[in-house]
Amino acid sequence: MSKGKITLLVALALTSLVFAQSWSFTFQVVPVPGDEYDLTMAMTAGATAGYDAFLDVPYFSPPDGRGAFFPLNDPLNPAYTKLQTDVRGLVLGDYTYWVAMDEGYYGLDDRFVEWDIDDLPNPVTAGNLWITTIIYGTDPATIADSLWVPMETIEEFPFGPTQEVAFRFMPAGMVDTIPPYVTGFNPIPGSAGVGLDAAIRFDVKDANRGVNDASIDVTVSYDGDEFETDELDMTLDPIVGGYRVTILPPEGLWPETTTVTYSVNACDLVTPPNCMVDDSVISFHTTEIIPDLFPPYFENIYPANGAMNIDVLSCIRIVIKDSESGVDSSTILFQVDGVEIHHDNLNITELGVGSDWYRVEYCPATALNYGAIYNVSVYAEDKWGNDANTSWSFTTEEAESLAEFTYNIKTHTIVGGDTATTNLYLGLDNLGSDGYDSGIDVPQFLFPGAPRGYFPLMDPTHPEVPALSRDIRSTDYGIKTWTVDIFNPVGDLRVSWDRTLLPPFGDFMFAVVDSGTTPSTWVSMETYSVATLTASQQVLIRFLPEGDDETPPIVRAINMEGEGPGGAGYDPTTTLCFEVVDYGSGVDLSTVSISVDYVDIDLADMTVTPLSNGYRFCYIPDPAWSPNSDYIVTVQASDNALPANEMDPYTWSFSTGPIGCAPEFELPITITWGTGADENETITFGTVEGASPNYDSGIDQIQPPPITDAGFYFTCDDAPPADKLIKDMRNPCDRPNIWQVTKRYSLTSPNVTVTWPSSPVFADTSWHLYYT
């Protein structure tokens, strides 16, 4: 009966497809009053969800960076990432979705989508359109039915600065009557010898509208005990068409050599819902306890031990396996040059379902250093506590040098028929630097009343040279930027060059800016031969090394990431700083988008510092971050290549701790290891201004000699005897402060007690003392 019912539905769907009508619909995106952008969506036979030549119309960002488009991710046509017209094929059996967004607008006011109801596809011959808003990057197929608005009921729809607009279309006459189904069982139904700690995993899917996660109902039973959904340790992970369900043994482990049975039911998202007529019932049989005697092992290390010339943009990865109980992923410790990499910054992926083998990958937010040796160590345990570790090292590539050249540009001051021209020279030399290089650079002498062009110079080692007429830089690989200014600027001001003589070793670009500011766009010097400027402006010239730039910008040098020092959170008064750089053509500042907790941050509210190949951004909200809070930061940018390379959104999180310093205090602790009068000892710890984690003369107290009996002391990193303290005070502004107590000699008594008196420090609830 079920098979016949499905066949009939498919036949009806194909009938609808045959008579579905092609259509086209144009709407307007209005980011601010007066700015309006037309976008067109359409459906016709033969089109795809990717780029279709002669059907789709690409969108290219204008010079001011403002517009609207359909974002596109088509691996077969990576050159096209944005569309003005997006045509899809006639598909039946599911919704078709479009997403539209604006760019270049950073205000907090609502934007609008507007359309004429009469322009909508015919609901009888074509189908129906709905509209909703989504957070950037959200799959519109996951949005609940209740949040979609029929477009035939309104003609205007608002969306916020951190949102995209999603559309969905259903062909006329489509009806979903098929319930969800269960597949992908692990353990395999009827299998024997299943591990006692094995999780139950299966997929609940729906071919059309998707699975209602709240409807998933599971019952697990064994040995006469039965556990309902609300009693199970059950997690749901979204997958295409539904959810992957994982259930851990209700009591930690399954009983030995028993039969475990579970049943599953679920409904879809249509109204009224289609629910499974019969539960899926699955059984498997558990094994007896077999000890795991062997530790995990490591495979597929990259870069390999001793590898040379590794790309500085590489990721570091390793596979960890265990032949018996499986790897306990929570024990994985990954260190680079002795620094532990937090799990939040690792990509830990299980190899298969239920294998408990893991692929661990670390992709640094910052590029690796050129010509550097990196030492990596990895530690892991299996589920029986057997541990293993491995370590290796590799060396990154050396930075390539650029070709030497010298190039002439001119400045002109025009007053009536008189023109004062200054010849300036810029270039690269193996002996050059960013400062003054005697014998290579040439100082420019500036006289009052005499107009003259120059390269400004701020070299602390040569304060007597504030200006150059010849500015030669190093051939070290990277983007080079020169500033051209005019002394005593009068009349019409120009900077000129011969574009036919530009050195053939890369791309030259220029920008005219107000003195001391950063350009938002650059213009190719191959297109123009002259730049005009005012007395308060400068001309910047940028050299981009040759070579096809196919890599997008990256984020590096993040100073606030993860849980902060010692897991105590960052000081809420700390300024968040990070760099966005591009090692090819540099970062296009006009494309940089930064959000905190999905709210866009205006670049005017940040400190933006130009770097040779990008920018450093620093930000703190007014007056500070909220204490004891979690924040999510997202950054996106494109480079200056043609066409531009756009980075995927880069996201990280950080946590703040309390504001201010801990209270000052002293707390004695008494350690007792026997009943005798000399079988106890009191040592003191606390906080006081001016103290450090090591020995502080006049504040801390060293264990006095001779040391002949059993006892205890605080340890620190100073040289003996200052590494053993009976009074150890720390700085109240350091977080966290951790005191470690060590015994002097082995004690015969197995019982050691630690006691301490009441203290006012315990009454301050913003700070806590813990012991372990």
Show which of 629, 655, 681 is a domain's final residue: 655
Same domain, 197 and 167: no
- Burial state string for 723-746 with b = 16 or more CB within 10 A and e = fewer than 16: bbbbbbbbbbebbebebeeeeeee
Show which of 230, 255, 285 is a domain's final residue: 285
3-class DSSP state of 743: strand
| Residue 529 domain-assigned (yes or no) | yes
DSSP 584: S
pLDDT at 750: 59
Same domain, 488 and 350: no
409 with 426: CB under 8 angstroms?
yes
Same domain, 431 and 476: yes
Phi, psi dihedral angles at 522 (to 5 degrees): -120, 150
pLDDT at 208: 66
| Residue 365 domain-assigned (yes or no) | yes
User: Could you give the CA distance from residue 178 to residue 93 in angstroms, rounded to a whole number?
Assistant: 11
- List the Cα angle 314/320/324 in 5-degree steps: 170
Assigned token pair, 367: 């590029």
Same domain, 365 and 475: no
User: Could you give the CA distance from residue 576 to residue 619 in angstroms, rounded to a whole number?
Assistant: 5
Same domain, 18 and 146: yes
| Residue 292 domain-assigned (yes or no) | no
Left, alpha or beta for 744 (phi > 0: left; psi -120 to 50: alpha)?
alpha
| Residue 772 domain-assigned (yes or no) | no
- The residue segments making up the domain with residue 740 are 665-763
| Residue 176 domain-assigned (yes or no) | no
Same domain, 40 and 161: yes
Place of tokens 């790309």: 311
366 with 329: CB under 8 angstroms?
no
pLDDT at 366: 64
- Burial state string for 154-173 with b = 16 or more CB within 10 A and e = fewer than 16: eeebebebbbbbbbbbbbbb
DSSP 141: G
Place of tokens 């990958």: 361
| Residue 259 domain-assigned (yes or no) | yes
The residues, any chain, with a CB within 8 Å of residue 265's CB and separated by 6 or more, are: 215, 216, 217, 275, 276, 279, 280
Show which of 634, 655, 676 is a domain's final residue: 655
Same domain, 594 and 483: no
Q: How far out from the chain centre does Cα 203 lie?
A: 29
| Residue 660 domain-assigned (yes or no) | no
User: Could you give the CA distance from residue 296 to residue 322 in angstroms, rounded to a whole number?
Assistant: 4
The residues, any chain, with a CB within 8 Å of residue 622's CB and separated by 6 or more, are: none
Same domain, 426 and 378: no
DSSP 552: -
Of 146, 265, 149, 249, give the one whose Cα is nearest residue 201: 249
Q: How would you list the strands of the sheet with 217-222, edge to edge?
A: 225-227, 217-222, 259-265, 280-285
User: Could you give the CA distance from residue 671 to residue 710 in angstroms, rounded to a whole number?
Assistant: 11
Pair type for strands 57-58 and 82-88: antiparallel
| Residue 770 domain-assigned (yes or no) | no
Mean pLDDT of successive 10-residue stretches along the chain, which has 772 residues: 26 31 89 93 84 89 92 90 90 79 88 93 83 90 85 89 90 73 90 87 81 93 91 87 89 90 91 87 87 90 94 92 89 87 88 84 80 90 91 87 93 92 95 93 90 94 94 87 94 95 90 86 89 95 76 84 78 89 80 93 90 85 87 91 84 84 85 80 88 89 66 82 88 81 64 82 70 72
Same domain, 271 and 197: yes
User: Could you give the CA distance from residue 104 to residue 592 in angstroms, rounded to a whole number?
Assistant: 9
CA distances from 56 to 90, 99, 524, 563 (A): 15, 15, 29, 46
3-class DSSP state of 7: helix
Same domain, 326 and 214: no
The domain that contains 376 carries what CATH number?
2.60.40.1220
The total number of structural domains in the chain stands at 6
Q: Which pTM does this prediction carry?
A: 0.36
221 with 262: CB under 8 angstroms?
yes
Same domain, 23 and 139: yes
373 with 393: CB under 8 angstroms?
yes
181 with 170: CB under 8 angstroms?
no
Same domain, 36 and 146: yes
User: Could you give the CA distance from residue 722 to residue 703 in angstroms, rounded to a whole number?
Assistant: 8
DSSP 312: T
3-class DSSP state of 12: helix
